[in-house]
Amino acid sequence: MIDWNLNLNTFVYLALMIFTGMAFGRLAKLCKLPNVTGYLVGGLVLGPSVLNLVPAEALAGFDLLSELALGFIAFSIGNEFKLSYFKRVGATPIVIAVLESLLAVVAVAGGLLIAGFELSFSLVLGSIAAATAPAATIMVIKQYRAKGPMTETLLSVVAIDDATALIFFSICVAVAGALNGKGGSLAQSLLPPMIEIFGAILLGFALGLLFLLPLRWFKKDGNRLALIFGFVMIGVGLAELLGLSSLLLCMAMGAALANFSKDVDHILKLTDAVTPPLFLLFFVTSGAELQLGVLPSIGLAGVLYVILRVAGKMGGASLGGVMCKAEPSVKKYLGLALVPQAGVAIGLSLAATRVVPEYGADIRAIILCATLIYEMVGPALSKLSLKKAGEIRE
């Protein structure tokens, strides 16, 4: 690592990140890779792991941008949750989301047990395998304007995945805690995530309905854009204050708007016009926070985690597609688009250290390594799966 020690101010750092992201995004496009891969690589080069042009203390101040970007990403996903869609496809996305999460957990935990690792360690690390990061996948869909049955199902699955991941993590942590003599009952362990999930959905839906009122009075684009930012910000802020999932809350808000407002398409158009710089900064920041130094510490458990999680996701998605008689493209290629993993998994790894503190450092290192690998290859795999499904028309 080179320490340039430039001591620049926040605006110069942000400008440097935007220009670097644009340059690496163009390079990625020339290599026929998604722009988001370029943003992540550009951030990695700028960050502490390589050139250190944007030091760790500067990155710590960009959390606000990252939270806001994730709020907008979740809001845009929620806008796809129209009742007419679920009437058409039924429970297919829910079944697929449950099975791809479950099989990822089973594959990782089972593989670690077979390899001789402790049961509590295997359960806790395996439980984190359920989590999927929707941001990179959504960016790939937006860039290539992917459209079709697999894209529709994918959007729903990555949204539901946040809830299924929290539930499976809570179950596995409760079992691991009981094995170590530190846990309460399963019901006690499940109560906090259920409150987090359903509280976020209910509050987000209520905010979405509240959003409808000022839309009647404010018709100009500038005013409506201000309203969009205000409601996404208050959604993210309330989620943080109340300990709820900001992703689920903003998704629910977007879903309420999609089902009860005739202006939803116009609102999405306004949002898409102003969020690209925010998303670019989010992914460059994410890339800068990736740590190359943790790679040597991945070990056998890390290798098994990286491989078996992907196998479980693909197998579960395929099984769910077969059970629900989904489109052939969904059965074959959906699982490959579920590889990205980032923020939620890192958060769960921190929570896991309270249950199995003796393995906390190992779990943290493995998840950080896996995040680095998944974030680099995940967008390209998402593009490949959508292309194989015939839903990217270049």
Max mean pLDDT range (62-66, 90-94, 273-277):
273-277
**Contacting residues for 60 by C-beta, under 8 A, at least 6 apart:** none
Helix (H) or strand (E) holding 130, with range, is none
What's the CA dihedral at 248, 253, 254, 255 to 10 degrees? 80
What pLDDT, in 10s, does the model give residues 283-340? 888 888 877 776 776 788 888 998 999 999 999 999 998 988 888 888 898 988 888 8
H-only helix segments in 115-148: 119-128, 134-144
Is the pLDDT at 194 greater than 80, yes or no? no
Residue 131 predicted with pLDDT over 90: no
Cα 385 from Cα 150, distance rounded (Å): 9
The string of pLDDT tens digits covering residues 11-46 is 889 999 999 999 999 998 898 888 888 888 898 899
Structure tokens at 32: 């026929």
Predicted model pTM: 0.82
Residue 302 CA to residue 363 CA, distance in Å, equals: 9
* Burial tier of 8 (Cβ tally within 10 Å: 0-12, 13-18, 19+): middle
- Mean pLDDT to the nearest integer, 44-66: 85
What does the pLDDT read at residue 6? 58
Q: Tokens 């987090």 belong to which residue?
A: 196
In CATH, what is the architecture of 79-275+297-376? Up-down Bundle (1.20)
Domain ranges of the chain: 79-275+297-376
- Asked if 391 and 150 touch (Cβ cutoff 8 Å), the reply is yes
CA distance 62 to 148: 35
